[in-house]
Amino acid sequence: MNNTNLLNIAFEDLFKLTVGLIVDDLKVHTHLYHLSLSGLDTSPLHLNLYRRIFVLAGFKEKDISEELQDWYFEQTKRVHAPDVLQDEQLLYALSAEILEGLLKARNELYAGKAG
């Protein structure tokens, strides 16, 4: 691949982009959860943003395990705590914490592995 075609993005910008995507995913999860409580089948509405989040966090598609997905979905339930969705700072803090957990899991998964 020609290096001039590579996308250059600063780590800080990538971190902010990924946290923002997690914020959006948390909002979607919350709205789908409330819709499902009213009896609506929300399965066709799922966007599967989490898979893109995992890739942005550095996971290879083949390494996205059920355990990782389960961990992520457990973390998304924390948005239901009082005032989290209503407070942007709390929402971004939770999202940053989730991303940090993903980065830790990625580092543990790929520790000692070559490319």
With respect to residue 16, please indicate whether it lies within any of the assigned structural domains: yes
With respect to residue 6, please indicate whether it lies within any of the assigned structural domains: no
Q: How far apart (Å, rounded) are the C-alpha atoms in residues 79 and 19?
A: 14
Which band of pLDDT confidence, cut at 50, 70 and 90, is reported for residue 33?
Answer: confident
The rounded percent of the chain whose pLDDT value lies above 90 is 62
Instruction: Pull the structure tokens for residue 72.
Output: 């992520």
With respect to residue 53, please indicate whether it lies within any of the assigned structural domains: yes
| Amino acid of residue 50 | Y
pLDDT of residue 82: 74
- Split into its structural domains, the chain has a count of 1
pLDDT digits (tens, 9 = 90+) for 50-86: 999 999 999 999 999 999 999 999 999 998 877 788 8
pLDDT of residue 46: 84
With respect to residue 115, please indicate whether it lies within any of the assigned structural domains: no
Domain that holds residue 74: 12-110
Q: How far apart (Å, rounded) are the C-alpha atoms in residues 87 and 102?
A: 23
With respect to residue 2, please indicate whether it lies within any of the assigned structural domains: no
With respect to residue 5, please indicate whether it lies within any of the assigned structural domains: no
**The Cα angle at residue 7 between residues 72 and 55, in degrees rounded to 5:** 15
Closest Cα to residue 84, out of 14, 33, 15?
33
Closest Cα to residue 19, out of 82, 77, 100?
100
The rounded percent of the chain whose pLDDT value lies above 70 is 90
With respect to residue 17, please indicate whether it lies within any of the assigned structural domains: yes
With respect to residue 7, please indicate whether it lies within any of the assigned structural domains: no
